[in-house]
Amino acid sequence: MRQLLVAMGLMALTACHGGGPTVQVSEFERYTGIGLCASDRLLDRTSDQERNLTPGFAFHVELELDRSCDPQFEEKLSAVSRQECTPTRVKAGGCFVADASPLAQKHSSLTVKPLSANRYDVRFWE
């Protein structure tokens, strides 16, 4: 009975929270300094823990690029860090940038890992 009450309580909290607001394209561009094409898709993968327990901000997204925009994304990512985020390095396993300013409007850190030819796992935080 106790387990059932705990489960019901957790379900109620989850239903009330609703997962929080989703990451917007404008936030992605502001905090990473990387502009996206209108046809690119941004899927919010931010956990409740990342969203609610991280001081400042922390976002986790899956970025699905329009195939015609993939080269533009690689160029923009490389501009954030010419040494860490070269297209070769990103395709080989990803990159990490400790401070994306001045291109980003915040002192954001970010990681980018390839998932497939035009999909990336991106995390950015303050």
Tell me the DSSP string of 69-80: THHHHHHHHHHH
Decide: pTM greater than 0.85: no
- pLDDT tens by residue, 84-93: 999 899 989 9
pLDDT at 5: 37
Report in angstroms the alpha-carbon separations of 100 from 4, 8, 10, 64: 46, 42, 37, 21
- Higher-pLDDT residue of 111 and 16 is 111
- Higher-pLDDT residue of 40 and 70 is 40
pLDDT at 19: 55
Residue 82, amino acid: R
- Any idea what DSSP says for residue 36? -
What is the chain's mean pLDDT, rounded? 83
End-to-end CA distance of the chain: 42
